[in-house]
Amino acid sequence: MTVRLQQQPRSKKIIKPPKHDRFAHIQPQGSWEIPRKTFHYSIGFLVLYLFKNGFDSADTYPALVAFLSIVLATEALRFSWDSFNVLYCRVMGSLMRKSEVKSRINGTAYYLVGVLIALYVFPKDIASLSIIYLSWADPTASICGRLWGKYTPKYGNKSLAGTLGAMVVGALVTYYFFSQFLTESYDPVSSDIPTYALALYGGLVAGLSEALGDSAGLDDNLIIPVASSIFLWVPLVFFEL
């Protein structure tokens, strides 16, 4: 007598649908970040406009402090309230990075702190130039690093190609700034340092400040304006060049 064993039906594996990524619209690390870079560059033009029209640093403190307070309050709110964070990232996502979604303070806060320190501690012309380094040399370094970084040595997240890009922009900006504007820290007529030599030094300052971010473990938005102001202030003001 043959006994047939009835084959038990295989249990079907339940496949769960992929969880919707509420932050998929935010560009990942290493992307071109076009809106963020565009915003970066625009601030440099604003600084040039304000400096050309004789703005007083003291007049900017209340607005900058108020803006910083709003940014910090918003950061605290979104890190403690998920629904608000989702809404915030939906509105501001084009200017953010993935790392800033849930655990890292938005770069705008560091930007404002760096700008406030530069404007409060250093002469207006030096602070303004350092902010322009941040606005133009920093994103240029990122672009050059993405284009040519694979062909040059790297240190941390930086590359020699990016640093050289920052140096070129820094040199050009420094030459234009001190040759076109009347400043309190440098007079191209009476100084023993020619403008082109100061421009080369400015390029070194921009490149070194941009490269210091990883080494110091601090955000570029904070380290660049502060470090640049120090490096510019020492020879121009302290040694009265």
Task: Please tell me the pTM assigned to this model.
Answer: 0.85
C-alpha atoms less than 13 angstroms from C-alpha of 143 in its C-beta half-sphere: 16
DSSP letter at 136 equals: I
Instruction: List, for the chain, all residue ranges whose pLDDT scores fall below the cut of 70.
Output: 1-21, 23-25, 28-30, 214-216, 240-241
DSSP letter at 24 equals: T
pLDDT at 123: 94
**39 close to 95: Cβ distance less than 8 angstroms:** yes
pLDDT at 5: 46
pLDDT at 1: 45
Q: What angle do CA 111, 167, 64 make, to 5 degrees?
A: 15
Q: Which residues of 54-76 are buried (b: 16+ CB within 10 A; e: fewer)?
A: eeebeebeeebeebbeebbebbe
State which amino acid sits at residue 206.
A
pLDDT at 186: 92
**155: β partners:** 158
pLDDT at 53: 92
